[in-house]
């Protein structure tokens, strides 16, 4: 039943994509040639445009099938689907232009083509996002569920079960566990699904019960059983997924590489290691910073005047921070604290009622106006708009030994704001919680994620700011 539903959903996506592409053609045609919004003329009849739209629809579907755009998306993030969709339509559009060149179709309006492609991607993204939200709501209510069995009732299996309970929108239901040694105590019986038998009884269970996926959550010393278990599952037509017993050492979304013909797990896959992603993020940083500086320049002028009139000392406070690849740089802020006496070393941590602050400094810190000069750090390449917040060398040397994975944050440029800050983790809050959020951001970066964090930072801007 589930597989039939998936096939139906795949076919529905293909048919709807093709239909949306033709609706986009009609919309682009009307906007360019029928409305009074744009200058227009009719060099070709509408039938010609319709023919090329039908050709493009076929190309887009074919490329989408080859690039796995129509595979089940239950476990995938929407940002992954978005990127794959843009890639597929980019390739299909290039193929369309190539065919038009071969057939010497040179009179098609370029404005129309731009409107057509923008409409295709935008409309498809909108309807797919709506469908994804609706499917999550249905699954949360118990519809369209998939049934899984967990092999291993030890720490690994119980941890996976606990995690799965936090994502009811995925629509997975655990039927039970199989384990050769473990049995639930009284407390565990009320919390977990039953242990259905020993692992060698799995084959009989699969032949009499409907199961979609089998999760192997066995310890490393049981790896010799994997071959038999996988064969049993494949004969029953059931998917098999393996949770490695060393998964604590892996990133949230591990990347499988190939080296000398052998599959390998890349322990720390970072999207910003790719040159194209770094280029996109840098271009976004420069554009955003320039706009921010232009828009906030009157505010910065008023703040600078306020700092000058309310306390003695420099307007701009420069402090050494650790940035990309552990390189130090000077980070700029509007000064919000009293000037440190010459020869004194400041290693104090900012607190809510910090006596070092000036009266005006309290205001600009609470409103985050003291951070505005950091947009110049972004233009200079020291920082990014979004990224882990940089820290002073004194604290970096302290935290690197005390907090596991602390130094991972230096694999990317530090940011004016970050995922942790957008969730209110600022000032005197848990370093461990911040690092957890920073690592999640680093491993799941996308431009849309950056935009979301910027929006959340603006929306929750005053939270924990002091």
Per-residue pLDDT of the chain (466 residues; tens, 9 = 90+): 445 556 777 888 899 999 999 999 999 999 988 887 887 666 678 898 999 999 999 999 999 888 878 876 666 667 777 888 888 898 999 999 999 988 888 888 889 999 999 999 999 999 988 888 887 788 777 777 889 999 999 888 998 999 888 877 778 899 999 999 889 988 888 899 999 999 999 999 999 998 989 999 998 888 889 999 999 998 888 989 988 877 666 665 666 666 666 777 766 667 888 888 889 999 999 999 999 999 999 999 999 999 888 888 888 999 999 999 889 999 999 988 877 665 555 555 555 556 677 888 888 888 888 899 999 999 999 999 999 999 999 889 888 888 878 888 988 999 999 998 888 777 667 788 889 899 889 988 888 899 999 988 888 764 555 4
- 150 shares a domain with 127: no
Cα gap 228→303, rounded to integer Å: 70
Q: Are residues 219 and 326 in the same domain?
A: no
Q: Please answer whether residues 161 and 190 qualify as being in contact, where contact means their C-beta atoms are separated by less than 8 angstroms.
A: no
Is 176 found in the same domain as 294?
no
Residue 369 in any domain: the answer is yes
Predicted local distance difference test score (pLDDT) of residue 303? 92
Q: Report the C-alpha gap between 128 and 40 in whole angstroms.
A: 32
Query: Could you tell me the two tokens for 172?
Result: 């997975």
Q: Which helix H or strand E contains 175, and what residues bound it?
A: strand 172-178
Domain limits at 72? Answer: 2-140
3-state secondary structure of 427: coil
Same domain, 225 and 281: no
Tell me, yes or no, if the pTM score tops 0.75. Answer: no
Spatial separation of the C-alpha atoms in residues 69 and 84, rounded to whole Å = 6
Predicted local confidence at residue 223, as pLDDT: 82
Q: Are 243 and 156 in contact (CB under 8 A)?
A: yes
| Close Cβ partners of 118 (under 8 Å, ≥ 6 residues apart) | none
439/342 same-domain check = yes
Structural contact between residues 357 and 336, judged by C-beta atoms closer than 8 angstroms: yes
Total domains in the fold of the chain: 3
Quick one: 232 and 345 in the same domain? no
DSSP summary character for residue 34:
I
- 39 and 153 both lie in a single domain: no
Q: What is the pLDDT of residue 1?
A: 44
Q: Which two tokens stand for residue 418?
A: 């970050």
Do 136 and 156 sit in the same domain of this protein?
Answer: no
């Amino acid at each position: 039943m589930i597989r039939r539903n998936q096939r139906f959903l795949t076919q529905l996506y293909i048919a709807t994509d093709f239909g949306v592409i033709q609706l986009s053609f009609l919309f682009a045609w009307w906007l360019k040639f029928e409305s009074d919004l744009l200058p227009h003329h009719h060099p070709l009849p509408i039938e010609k445009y319709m023919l090329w739209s039908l050709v493009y629809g076929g190309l887009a579907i074919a490329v989408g099938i080859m690039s796995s755009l129509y595979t089940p998306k239950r476990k995938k993030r929407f940002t992954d689907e978005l990127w794959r969709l843009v890639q597929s339509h980019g390739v299909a559009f290039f193929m369309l232009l190539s065919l038009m060149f071969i057939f010497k179709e040179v009179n098609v309006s370029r404005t129309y083509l731009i409107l057509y492609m923008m409409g295709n991607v935008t409309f498809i993204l909108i309807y797919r996002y709506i469908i994804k939200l609706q499917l999550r709501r249905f699954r949360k209510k118990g519809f369209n569920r998939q049934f899984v069995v967990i092999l291993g009732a030890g720490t690994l299996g119980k941890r996976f079960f606990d995690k799965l309970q936090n994502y009811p929108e995925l629509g997975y239901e655990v039927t039970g566990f199989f384990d050769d040694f473990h049995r639930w105590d009284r407390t565990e019986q009320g919390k977990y699904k039953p242990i259905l038998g020993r692992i060698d009884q799995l084959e009989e269970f699969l032949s009499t019960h409907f199961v979609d996926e089998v999760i192997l959550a066995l310890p490393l010393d049981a790896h010799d059983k994997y071959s038999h278990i996988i064969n049993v599952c494949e004969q029953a037509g059931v998917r098999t997924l393996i949770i490695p017993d060393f998964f604590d050492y892996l990133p949230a979304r591990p990347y499988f590489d190939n080296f000398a013909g052998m599959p390998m797990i890349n322990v720390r896959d970072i999207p910003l290691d790719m040159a194209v992603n770094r280029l996109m993020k840098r271009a976004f940083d420069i554009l955003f910073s320039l706009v921010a500086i232009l828009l906030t320049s009157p505010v910065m002028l008023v703040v600078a005047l306020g700092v000058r009139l309310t306390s003695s000392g420099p307007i701009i406070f420069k402090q050494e921070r650790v940035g990309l690849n552990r390189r130090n740089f000077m980070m700029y802020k509007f000064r919000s604290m009293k000037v440190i006496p010459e020869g004194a070393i400041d290693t104090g941590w900012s607190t809510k009622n910090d006596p070092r602050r000036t009266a005006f400094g309290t205001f600009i810190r609470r409103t985050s106006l003291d951070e505005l000069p950091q947009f110049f750090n972004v233009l200079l390449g020291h920082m990014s708009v979004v990224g882990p917040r940089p820290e002073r060398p004194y604290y970096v040397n302290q935290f690197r030994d005390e907090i596991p994975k602390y130094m991972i944050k230096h694999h990317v440029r530090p940011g004016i704001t970050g995922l942790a800050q957008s969730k209110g983790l600022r000032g005197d809050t848990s370093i461990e919680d911040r690092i957890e959020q920073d690592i999640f951001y680093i491993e799941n970066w996308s431009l849309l994620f950056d935009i979301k964090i910027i929006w959340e930072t603006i929306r929750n801007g005053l939270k924990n700011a002091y």
